[in-house]
Amino acid sequence: MCESIAYLATPQGEKKIMENVVYMKPENGKVYLSDLLGEQKIVEGYVKEIRLIDHKIIIEEKK
């Protein structure tokens, strides 16, 4: 499968915010995420890093 896990980068480390992410759209200082079952989340921030081989999306909070 090609789903990814989204993490929020914090000073304490990475915090998992969503599993089975199949859709991600960064737009106007927000990152829109949807999972395999259609659950959606909106995170204020920007995409810091995407590790395709690890199926990992890292989002940095807006400061």
pLDDT digits (tens, 9 = 90+) for 35-44: 999 999 999 9
pLDDT digits (tens, 9 = 90+) for 2-52: 799 999 999 899 999 999 999 999 999 999 999 999 999 999 999 999 999
Residue 54 to residue 20: CA distance in whole angstroms: 13
Rounded to two decimals, what is the model's pTM? 0.91
Radius of gyration for the chain, computed over Cα atoms and rounded to the nearest angstrom: 11
Closest CA to 46 of 25, 22, 16: 25
Query: Residue for token digits 């969503």?
Result: 18
